[in-house]
Amino acid sequence: MGTPSGRAVHHRTNSPIHRLPAHVKIVALLGFMAAVVTTPRELIWPYGLHLALLLGVIAASRVPLAFLARRLAIETPFVLFALLLPFVATGPTTTFLGLTVSRAGLWAAWALFARGTLGVLAALTLAATTESQDLLDGLHRLRLPRQMVEIMGFMVRYTDVVGDQWHRMRIARESRCFTATTATGWPTLGRSLGALFIRSYERGERVHLAMLSRGYTGTMPLATSVAATRSQWGLAGTFAAAAFLISIVPPRLP
């Protein structure tokens, strides 16, 4: 079935953050992101404090920053969109780096970049310190709908299978001297994606029939995650509370 895709972002080591139950870390992440989103975008230094707080957690997790930095590339489309906002937004203008840009668009671009980067970095930290199965168990413990958790579980298990199928199709195309260097190759890529969808759908049908033959009744057995202690909840609460304190202090400043 292939290697679970979650291992590509999970960093195996022994740290206090790794030992925290998954549902505790999920709640801490949600609290941190709620605080980041509510931070006024017109102030820059609170986002620096949010970053320092998050870097402290990363240091405690013993996950190398280079390991996370390489995976920050996933936010590239959002960064490119943020760069366009100062030029397409309307309203009063200002001069920034010698360019005339929209003031509202400039603040919107900053907010999108800062909040997006903090969110992606926090999510990557969660993924780097938590196994995929533990994340699913944590979501189940937080009372997320069971069917949704099962769908996520299948996605985690079979993402690499579909990826390997696409890789084999790419090798088959290249062995026939096909390279998609221009737009003329897009129809071929489109047909390949269509074939991949059909094969994935058929594989899903076969997997479902195999599960039914083994007694599947609509629910998958999930391991029960370890209950969190008061100190662990207190640690997560302190992290979220510190982030909220950073977000509410700026409006009170003169």
Query: Which CA distances in Å does 68 have to 17, 49, 118, 127, 190?
Result: 15, 19, 12, 10, 32
Residues 223, 225: Cα–Cα separation, whole Å: 6
Tell whether the model's pLDDT for residue 250 goes beyond 80: no
Low-confidence winner among 34-43, 124-133, 217-226 (lowest mean pLDDT) = 217-226
Q: What is the pLDDT of residues 56-97, one digit of tens each?
A: 999 999 999 899 988 888 888 888 888 888 888 887 888 777
> Mean pLDDT of all residues in the chain?
85
Please say if the pLDDT value at position 27 is more than 90: yes
Whether 3 has a pLDDT exceeding 80, the answer reads no
pLDDT reported for residue 35? 94
Whether the pLDDT of residue 4 is over 80: the answer is no
What is the helix (H) or strand (E) element at residue 105, kind and residue range? helix 103-129
Tokens representing residue 207 in the block: 């997997």
Instruction: Check: CB of residue 117 under 8 Å from CB of residue 64.
Output: no
Which residues are CB-contacts of 107 (< 8 A; sequence separation ≥ 6)? 41, 42
Q: Are strands 93-96 and 99-102 parallel, antiparallel or unpaired?
A: antiparallel
pLDDT band at 2 (very low <50, low <70, confident <90, very high): very low
Using the predicted structure, report yes or no on whether residue 247 has a pLDDT greater than 50: yes
| Buried/exposed 111-136: b ≥16 CB within 10 Å, e otherwise | bbbbbbbbbbbbebbbbbbbbbbbbb
Annotate 165-204 with b (16+ C-beta within 10 A) or e (fewer): beeebeeebeeeeeeeeeeeeeeeeeebeeeeeeeeeeee
pLDDT at 162 over 80: yes
How far is the C-alpha of 107 from the C-alpha of 127, rounded, in Å?
30
pLDDT at 131: 87
Could you report the per-residue pLDDT of 122-149, keeping only the tens digit for each? 999 999 999 888 888 888 888 888 888 8
Report which residue type is found at 96: F
Determine the pLDDT at residue 55: 95
- SS3 state of residue 24: helix
Strand ranges for the chain from DSSP E: 93-96, 99-102
Find out whether 197 and 155 touch, Cβ atoms under 8 Å.
no
Q: Cite the beta strand spans of 24-174 per DSSP E.
A: 93-96, 99-102
Please, which pLDDT band fits residue 32 given cuts at 50, 70 and 90? very high
- Give the domain ranges of the chain: 5-139+225-252, 145-213
Interatomic CA distance for residues 43 and 30, integer angstroms:
22
The whole-model pTM stands at: 0.78
- Give which of 86, 122, 127 is closest to 103, Cα–Cα: 86
Cα separation, 244 vs 32, in Å, equals 7
pLDDT bucket at 225, cuts 50 / 70 / 90: low
User: How far is residue 110's CA from residue 117's CA, in Å, rounded to a whole number?
Assistant: 10
- pLDDT tops 50 at residue 235: yes
- Label residue 120 by pLDDT band (50, 70, 90): very high
Percent of the chain scoring above 90 in pLDDT: 33
pLDDT at site 251: 52
